[in-house]
Structure 1
Amino acid sequence: MKILFMLRDAFYDANPKLIHDAKLLGAQVKFLYTDHGIDKKELIEQVKDVDIIVVAVVKIDQEVIDAAPQLKYIIKYGAGYDNIDVEYAFQKGIPVTNAPGQNAESVADHAFGLMLTAARKIPQKHQEIKADHWELSMGNEIYRKRLGIIGFGSIGQAIARRAAGFNMETICYGNYKDFDAAAKWNVSFVDLNELFSSSDFIIISTSLSENNRKMVNKETLSLMKPTAFIINISRGGLIDEGDLVHALKENKIRGAALDVFEKEPPTGELAKLPNVIATPHIGGATFEAIERIGDITITNIKKFMDHKELKHVIAPKTKI
């Protein structure tokens, strides 16, 4: 049995237990560091004789799956699986699992951190002080403001819990509606136009699919208040980055805070705009979340090797 881990560099350092446990599986294990990307030709070479792939953000498409004739199992090291062709894997009889909800609290923390720093321009003020420049600037409270959450899964609900502590008026748009959780945290479900037009802060916490790709675009951005902020801690493909650049440069909205980009690392001007706060896809990157995901990963590998039922199998034709 050959297992290939392709994780972000910091994941290995943050969770040495994962490497230790993987080496005890009784399999041949290889660890690749992928923060600087991996060439498609090299990727195909790496997968050609593996039985199990454990992957964070590297794209596992039809070409990669076909290049791995021994491949029997794909594990997403995290929750969102838009980088894996689940449908094609299913056709090939290859199960795909993930670790849903394990990084929800970490991502919700980061979403709130981005919202607070955007509202008070904390990173900009920090850099000014470092440059010996002392200048008062005005910011915004988040207390009692209207927060619009796009997506009400485990992350969206964790964000709503935090918003309750700030007495925010929370509204939500999404296909998944947990009415019990909404009642508990005083969340109202609204249509997308109302969310964009009435929110002071919008946090995107929905998974990416072809149905919602570039849902933040010229039309939806034009509905936003000029004083509003948009925060994305989900996937970069949910935003039309060209339209967002235009809205920010023309002060159609006050600012954006982005942990994710359509291409990572970003190469365009979006991340460099003065009214944008950018972080390098670190929403789920906490010691606690990485360890929880690692434990589920090792447990599922053991189950697979022992021919037992896997946890968190992703069903084909499921909306991402």
Structure 2
Amino acid sequence: MKMLFMLRDAFIEANPKFLDDARSLGEVKVLLTDQGIEKDALKKEVADINVIVVAVVKIDKEIIDAAVNLKYIMKFGSGYDNIDHIYARQKGIPVTNVPGQNSEAVADHAFGLMLSAARQITQKNQEIKSGHWELSMGHEIFQKRIGIIGFGNIGKAIARRANGFNMEINAFGNHKDYESAKKLNVRFVELEELLSTSDIIIVSTNLNEKTRKLINKETLGFMKSTAILINISRGGLVDEDALTEALKNNQISGAGLDVFIDEPTTSELATLPNVIATPHIGAATYEAIERIGDGAFENLKRFAAGKELKNLVN
């Protein structure tokens, strides 16, 4: 079988074994996609492909139709909003993901963004490197109230860490795991209460048509002027124009953003002094990529052998 891998450059470098293992099953073509790829070019690349393994590149109806020999799409990670899995199902093409393997890495990164935003760590580091030494005041996160939007694997991992900081933890989500919430000292609340009472708000929910631009002019208006917004999920969950204005006007204190609507981003939002921005690296740890690679290879072997696939999303 012919496989096309479209992964982040660092993912390939971090786990070359995954490629070597995949080559034992068939022909592998690799596209490094950190700088994106034009749709017309991608259509040509997928023309004779049987299996697509993809990280963040959009696999929509046009791409699926252009891949006339396509039999299987694998998401290298958990969130599969970049894949038109409904249309793939209509064409009889299974789509799988590798859920839960990057949760700890993303939760770590959420706390890194939170601490950096609360204490201006990256700004002060840059000032010192440019020869400037100046004291600045920040905020503690110890015993603060954290609001987690989305209480899946990542949300729970964030809650575990928040307990170590003796934080008061609220969560909002459609799927309420009350057993885990009880163990983790989490209280479920409605969205408006979470936004209006939290010192730190972390967005860790899935992107779909109901959640697109969940953080917008109206919902930003509920937040405290001292609030910090962290997004480690998907850029489309936030109205970037509304957040830019809120930050410029000091409507909220700051933001830590690992994801943007368009990536690589050219948004003004990423350049604001009260924004900590990273290039979608939440899952980019050696440990997480190894775990994802192991799960992905297991399904590739199953597909090659004609066995039932794990983690079907469609």
Do the structures match in fold with TM over 0.5? Answer: yes
Unaligned runs of 5+ residues in structure 1 are 316-320
Letter in 2 for 1:183: K
Letter in 2 for 1:9: D
Is 1:23–2:39 an aligned residue pair? Answer: no
Distance 2:264 2:36 in 1: 9
Partner residue in 2 for 1:14: 14
Partner residue in 1 for 2:124: 125
Partner residue in 1 for 2:148: 149
> SS state of the match for residue 209, structure 1?
coil
Q: Give the stretch that moved more between structures: 16-25 or 183-192.
A: 16-25
Partner residue in 2 for 1:304: 303
Distance 2:176 2:115 in 1: 26
Partner residue in 1 for 2:238: 239
Is 1:137–2:122 an aligned residue pair? Answer: no
Distance 2:257 2:35 in 1: 20
Within a 5 Å distance, the mapping from 1:210-289 to structure 2 comes to 210-289=209-288
> SS state of the match for residue 149, structure 1?
strand
Letter in 1 for 2:3: I
Partner residue in 2 for 1:187: 186
Distance 1:21 1:113 in 2: 33
Contact 2:47/2:69 (8 A) holds in 1: yes
Within a 5 Å distance, the mapping from 1:22-101 to structure 2 comes to 22-25=22-25, 27-101=26-100
Distance 1:312 1:288 in 2: 20
Letter in 2 for 1:21: D
Aligned sequence identity (%)? 66
> SS state of the match for residue 6, structure 1?
strand
- CA deviation digits over 1:3-48, x for unaligned, max 9? 11111111110001111111112x1111111111111111000100
Q: CA deviation at 1:297?
A: 1.1
Q: CA deviation at 1:267?
A: 1.1
> SS state of the match for residue 170, structure 2?
strand
> SS state of the match for residue 29, structure 2?
strand
> SS state of the match for residue 223, structure 1?
coil
Q: CA deviation at 1:268?
A: 2.0
Distance 1:69 1:263 in 2: 28
Partner residue in 2 for 1:318: none
Within a 5 Å distance, the mapping from 1:150-169 to structure 2 comes to 150-169=149-168
- CA deviation digits over 1:41-73, x for unaligned, max 9? 110001001110000011100000001111000
TM-score when scaled to structure 1? Answer: 0.97
- CA deviation digits over 1:50-105, x for unaligned, max 9? 11000001110000000111100000000000000000000000000000101000
Is 1:2–2:2 an aligned residue pair? Answer: yes
TM-score when scaled to structure 2? Answer: 0.99
Contact 2:206/2:233 (8 A) holds in 1: yes
Distance 1:98 1:60 in 2: 14
**Cα RMSD over matched residues?**
0.6
Distance 2:175 2:17 in 1: 35
Unaligned runs of 5+ residues in structure 2 are none
Distance 2:7 2:264 in 1: 16
Distance 1:208 1:161 in 2: 23
Distance 1:82 1:111 in 2: 20
Distance 1:105 1:128 in 2: 31
Letter in 2 for 1:12: I
Letter in 1 for 2:19: I
Q: CA deviation at 1:176?
A: 1.2
Contact 2:36/2:264 (8 A) holds in 1: no
Distance 1:40 1:210 in 2: 23
Q: Runs of 4+ in structure 1 displaced over 3 angstroms? A: none
Distance 1:51 1:204 in 2: 35
Q: CA deviation at 1:119?
A: 0.5
Distance 2:16 2:280 in 1: 21
Partner residue in 2 for 1:115: 114
- CA deviation digits over 1:199-254, x for unaligned, max 9? 00000000100101001011110111001100000000000000001100000000
